[in-house]
Chains A and B, each alone.
Chain A
């Protein structure tokens, strides 16, 4: 069964900490995505990557960066965590075009205190 695996289900971090969220897919997908999900706002795209070492900003990139050194792994970095980054973070992957849908990970619920 194909999978997108996010390293943590729940995470609690302190304000100002540098936070790494890891995502690994085993489907040889070209595209990988990071979304955050907040009540009433749906899913908002933070960053996406369409190839190794390639990245593009999504709708809300401020306060985040990403790294994709290998095709299967896409990391989201919160440079200095703030309380307004408390959210559910969802990683997804897909083939080059979106014609076959995304496969999502189970999500990481991050709380910044």
Chain B
């Protein structure tokens, strides 16, 4: 069963613009993670935010977490064509040690 649900399902922007996608989940979590998947390839881990953190940065990525609303957002600033990919949130539930549950993903297209 899917724990995380991303929104929007698809996003099309131009280079230089910011891309924001959201993730909602249902149960208590230890951490929430974001992954990127280039077409037809495996997923790559981008960033992890723990349940006691509210915001985290990594390069052009900014992640926020609101545990009261059970939601997270991923912001990619100054998008590049190479950011074209699908982005997935994944939650590590408090009661399922070591397992992640993934959402269906947001497909991002960045045009030059």
Spell out A's residues near B (CB within 8 Å).
4, 31, 33, 35, 40-43, 45, 48, 50, 58-59, 88, 90, 92, 94, 96-107, 109
Given contacts A43-B88, A101-B33, contact A107 B40 (CB under 8 A): yes
Identify which of A43, A97, A104, A107 contacts B98 (C-beta below 8 A).
A97
Is the pair A50, B45 in contact by a Cβ cutoff of 8 Å? no
B13: interface (CB < 8 Å): no
Q: Bound complex: CA of A94 vs CA of B98, how far in Å?
A: 8
Given contacts A99-B31, A105-B42, contact A43 B102 (CB under 8 A): yes
Is the pair A100, B48 in contact by a Cβ cutoff of 8 Å? yes
Count residues on chain B whose CB falls below 8 Å from chain A CBs.
Answer: 26
**B contact patch SS:** strand
Spell out B's residues near A (CB within 8 Å).
1-2, 30-31, 33, 35, 40-45, 48, 50, 88, 90, 92, 97-105
**25 pairs from A and B in contact (CB 8 Å cutoff):** A35-B102, A41-B104, A42-B102, A42-B105, A43-B88, A43-B102, A45-B99, A45-B101, A50-B98, A92-B43, A94-B98, A97-B97, A97-B98, A98-B33, A98-B92, A98-B99, A98-B100, A100-B48, A101-B45, A102-B45, A102-B100, A104-B44, A105-B42, A107-B40, A109-B40
